[in-house]
Amino acid sequence: MNRSRFDFVVGLFVAIGLLAMVFMALKVGNLASFDSGSGYVLEARFDNIGGLKVRAPVKSAGVVVGRVDSVGLDKETFEAIVRLRITSDYRFSKDTIASILTSGLLGEQYVGLESGGDPVYLAQGDRVGKTQSAMILEKLISQFLFSKAAETPAKAP
């Protein structure tokens, strides 16, 4: 193999490697989506969404069924309004529960949907009636520490 052909093959290999790294970076950052935006949008209201971000996954039984479309704040009730874009392949009943969960102890936050048994399904623009807000680790730790500090030590006989 002559020198110029060898240089071309090495350059092609490096270019493919760089493209693969860019693709993986976009996938890890939830920025690469080959979705055409199809599906339907549901609204869920939470007291606290923790660190939930736009493009976070929406999962049901561990399967990604959609993405968080937008996050906002209701100026009257001060509730977080989360819009979920659900893939049109999946349907959820009217009594579905939306919870904000965390992957692992310190992993990313996502919205978990648990469907109920109602025969009527949610449609475009409907609101998920039952929600469970995010558990904030700092709040739990502070509650535990304050409860331990409030306990009075037992007196020695």
**Residues 98 and 69 occupy one common structural domain:** yes
Task: Give how many domains the chain has, as a whole number.
Answer: 2
Q: What is the pTM of this model?
A: 0.69
**Residues 20 and 90 occupy one common structural domain:** no
One-letter amino acid of 120: V
Q: Which residue has the tokens 């209201």?
A: 45
pLDDT at 50 over 60: yes
Rounded to a whole number of angstroms, the distance between the first and last alpha carbons of the chain is 92
**Residues 27 and 70 occupy one common structural domain:** no
Residue-wise pLDDT tens digits, 143-157: 888 887 777 665 655
Residue-wise pLDDT tens digits, 99-113: 999 887 777 889 999
The parent domain of residue 7 ranges over 1-32
**Mean pLDDT taken over the chain:** 85
**Residues 49 and 111 occupy one common structural domain:** yes
Domain assignment of residue 48, yes or no: yes
**Residues 137 and 88 occupy one common structural domain:** yes
pLDDT at 36 over 80: no
Maximum Cα–Cα distance across the chain: 93
H/E run at residue 44:
strand 40-46
